[in-house]
Amino acid sequence: MNRGEFKLQYDRARVFIEESLEGLCSSPVSLVPPRLMESMAYSLRAGGKRLRPVLCIQAGETFGLDREKTVPLALALEMIHTASLIHDDLPAMDNDTLRRGKPTNHVLFGDALAILAGDALMAWAFEYPLAVLPDTGLPCDRICRSMHVLANALGPAGICGGQVLDTDGQSMDDSPDFPWKVTRQKTAVLLRASILSGAILAGADGKSLAALGAYGDHLGSAFQIVDDILDVTSTAEELGKTPGKDESQNKRTFVAAYGLEKARELAARESRLASVALEGVRGDTAFFSDLSDYLCERTK
């Protein structure tokens, strides 16, 4: 598809996610303290690319599953991602005051409520789809397998482990391979899970799942490399968050390890490898191929 068609398809999926999130945030939830819900909803409503839930519903549609059936899983992925951002911004982590162009959660609600809002979103990411998905008529084994993918991406071998590598000085090293280790766990793992969980829910075959997994790994690497580049080349207005944080915190980024020009080459290579991986998928993958180019060329 051409760039205009891709952008239209992406925007339609993003709007669908935004509307679904708003419906979720606006519905009263029994026994949840209003301030906790306000804190959770504040970060969920903060905007962004909605990349992970878009990947989930697009993967489902690639194998014939309507987005109305994948959306509970897609919203769960956004909950997990949002929770990780709330925690990532805390003073004990990256200590940032700006996210998606708005004050970070702890700036408005305090550290304690921000921590609890992140914890609550992570739990809700499992409670909500497990309560809703069985009513869609989807096979229980697909639901369980897709939720297992989410759990693995969130856990100690996923973004929690990746955050340790990214913030704990004793876990860092100066090897050129270290940025790849961080991005595989902190960034690529959740993008990979977004695609795989939607495809699993739709009943994708094993060969396609393996190809989509490889695609997610390369897409996540390209995405993180571009993030590292933008941290040194962009502004707060463009990024919606504070630039220059990686260098000030002495993080082992791709730019720090390889330099700016080499990092750009690596991003382009990972984007190409993502598209090549799609050759093993039995279905229309034009959206995913265009997405890898689009994310590699982004400016925020």
Q: Which percentage of the chain shows pLDDT scores above 90?
A: 83
Q: What is the DSSP-derived secondary structure letter of residue 243?
A: T
- Domain map (residue ranges) of the chain: 3-293
Q: For residue 85, give the 3-state DSSP assignment.
A: helix
pLDDT, residue 244, reads 66
pLDDT single digits (tens) 270-293? 999 999 999 999 989 999 999 999
**Residue 50 pLDDT class (50, 70, 90 cuts):** very high
Helices (H), the chain: 3-26, 34-44, 51-62, 67-88, 105-109, 111-132, 140-154, 159-167, 178-183, 189-201, 206-233, 236-239, 245-248, 254-258, 260-277, 286-296
Q: Are 218 and 250 in contact (CB under 8 A)?
A: no
Query: What does the alpha-carbon distance between residue 186 and residue 165 come to, in Å, rounded to a whole number?
Result: 9
List, for residues 197-247, the tens digit of each pLDDT value: 999 999 999 999 999 999 999 999 999 999 999 989 987 776 777 776 776
pLDDT(43) > 90:
yes
Amino acid, res. 254: F
Mean of pLDDT values over 4-22: 96
pLDDT band of residue 266 (cuts 50, 70, 90) is very high
- Residues 6+ away with beta carbon under 8 Å from 217: 184, 188, 192
| Residue 1, C-beta contacts closer than 8 angstroms, at least 6 positions apart | 9, 286, 287, 290
Q: Is the pLDDT of residue 111 over 90?
A: yes
Q: Is the pLDDT of residue 96 over 70?
A: yes
pTM of the model: 0.94
Angstrom distance (rounded) from CA 33 to CA 229: 40
Q: What is the pLDDT of residue 247?
A: 67
Nearest CA-CA partner of 181 in 191, 194, 172, 190: 172
Single-letter code of the amino acid located at 40 = M
pLDDT tens track for 122-178: 999 999 999 999 999 999 999 999 999 999 999 999 999 999 999 898 999 889 899
Domain 3-293 in CATH 3.40.50.720? The answer is no
pLDDT confidence of residue 81: 97
Q: What is the mean pLDDT of residues 54-72?
A: 98
